[in-house]
Amino acid sequence: MKLFVGLGNPGGKYAQNRHNIGFMAVDRIAEDHGFTPWRAKFQGEVSEGRLGSEKILLLKPATFMNLSGQSVGEAARFHKIDSTDICVFHDEIDLAPGRLKTKSGGGHAGHNGLRSIHQHLGPHYDRVRMGVGHPGHKDAVPGYVLKDFAKADEVWLDDMLRGISDGAAALAAGDDARFLNAVSLRLNPPRSGGGTKGKPAVAAQAAEAPKPPVKQASGSEPTSPQPDERDDRSALQKLADRFR
């Protein structure tokens, strides 16, 4: 079993805060992948299901952000889940809005939710860092992350959450590259170019290729093709050639 943790603060007052983007991520995974209804356990809410071949426990700590480690630690101990099988989804002010990165181990960079998890489990767990941007000054950070996302953020936020859900099975399997690619395809979908693609393009090029010249006999005018080599054109091609 693996443990996916979304960080945030409980209650409707905080539901749309930037700080709650971790809750939003695991909510989307649970909804899209048919997980069980959320229920109270481990000082939080849990939901269970499968992503690919992996059994996954989703957790939203209800201890408030600064004490997230209490809930995560309790769930990990109960299910005997090693910290290396835990992945935490959290807001990241050091990434621009709409940017996302994964990370294994390392420091908490001052994030209070991660700081608490460090205290209970140590640093050896995985993270999905979900960019929400920086207010520009350190003193403004608490108020910034505890405010709702702006209206202008709705499009990229929905795309990011959809991408996380798309790539969740890859993340559970430890394939970060495929997970990140799934998110990227939602945030930066390939543009549809003009013209044709694949085989139709080859066919179009072939139709426009110049026809080979009729061979000439040495020192004479161009010779007419003999009947047996003249026309292997179809009736449709002959008709088309008449109107060129």
Residue 85 near residue 121 (C-beta atoms within 8 A)? no
Q: At what angle do helices 68-79 and 112-121 cross, to 10 degrees?
A: 40
Residues 44 and 59 sit within 8 Å (Cβ to Cβ): yes
Alpha carbons 1 and 85: distance in angstroms, whole number: 8
From 19, 79, 108, 137, active-site residue: 19
Task: Give the residue among 64, 69, 112, 104 at the shortest CA–CA distance from 87.
Answer: 104
Whether 19 is a known active-site residue: answer yes
Distance (Å, rounded) from C-alpha 25 to C-alpha 161? Answer: 6
Which residues participate in catalysis according to the annotation? Answer: 19
